[in-house]
């Protein structure tokens, strides 16, 4: 009886420790029309990880491009005004300038609040975590038509030779684009 109880406790601990549950809050008040040109700016990095904003915005660019969206990535979008690389929520003037110069219909930008590993557990890195906010700005209407707040922490420590942070990044960008299809497109 004691062995069975021990096996049940171990199995339930293993099942809970491998689960991943994202926290997501989104709001859409508009749609991206078919054939619209979308520009993506590098996300503002609020983490100690040096390239978190670039990594996340490039991953999102690749995923949207692979789904047939007419998208300009951060490298192309930021050529026009390098000083506008990262914008704040109330910087509509900068967003308008970039959008008009590149003939864009929408600009996607955001902030990376957390990217990396949370602490150390028993001498090894803990599970990876990514937390960011994402905004879609409609240049014609001059308003933000989509806001999304995403926090995703993987509880799985097994990665089979692949950095778990990269695996988590792939999962969250896929999840974000699913939300895009549902609410924006």
In tens, the pLDDT along 13-36 reads 333 344 455 667 778 888 888 889
Cα distances (angstroms) measured from residue 46 to each of 64, 79, 80, 90, 114: 24, 22, 24, 17, 7
- Report pLDDT for 8: 36
- Report pLDDT for 153: 78
Neighbours of 174 (CB within 10 A): 11
Q: Which CATH superfamily is domain 21-183 in?
A: ABC-type transport auxiliary lipoprotein component (3.40.50.10610)
- Report pLDDT for 185: 65
Backbone φ, ψ for residue 162 (5° rounding): -110, 140
Cα distances (angstroms) measured from residue 15 to each of 66, 119, 121, 166: 33, 21, 18, 22
- Report pLDDT for 27: 82
Integer-rounded Cα radius of gyration of the chain = 19
pTM (predicted TM-score)? 0.77
- Report pLDDT for 70: 92
Cα-Cα-Cα-Cα torsion 120, 122, 128, 129, nearest 10 degrees, comes to -60
- Report pLDDT for 13: 39
- Report pLDDT for 107: 92
Kind of pairing between the strands at 106-117 and 44-45: parallel
Question: What are the tens digits of pLDDT across the range 60-116?
Answer: 888 888 878 899 998 888 887 766 555 666 678 888 888 999 999 999 999 999 888
Q: Mean pLDDT score of the chain, rounded to an integer?
A: 76
Q: Is the pLDDT of residue 155 over 80?
A: no
């Amino acid at each position: 009886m004691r062995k069975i109880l021990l096996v049940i406790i171990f199995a339930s601990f293993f099942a809970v420790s491998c689960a991943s549950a994202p926290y997501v809050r989104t709001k859409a008040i508009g749609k991206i029309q078919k054939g619209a040109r979308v520009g993506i700016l590098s996300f503002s990095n609020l983490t100690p990880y040096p390239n978190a904003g670039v990594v996340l915005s490039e991953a999102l660019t690749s995923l949207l491009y692979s789904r047939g969206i007419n998208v300009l990535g951060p490298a192309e979008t930021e050529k026009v005004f390098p000083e506008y690389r990262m914008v704040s929520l109330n910087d509509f003037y900068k967003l308008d300038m970039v959008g008009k110069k590149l003939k864009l219909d929408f600009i996607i930008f955001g902030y990376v609040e957390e990217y990396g590993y949370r602490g150390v557990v028993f001498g090894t890195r803990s599970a990876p975590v990514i937390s960011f906010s994402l905004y879609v700005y409609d240049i014609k209407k001059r308003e933000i038509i989509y806001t999304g707040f995403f926090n995703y922490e993987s509880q799985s420590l097994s990665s089979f030779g692949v950095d778990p942070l990269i695996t988590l990044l792939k999962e969250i960008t896929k999840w974000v684009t699913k939300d895009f299809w549902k609410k924006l497109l």
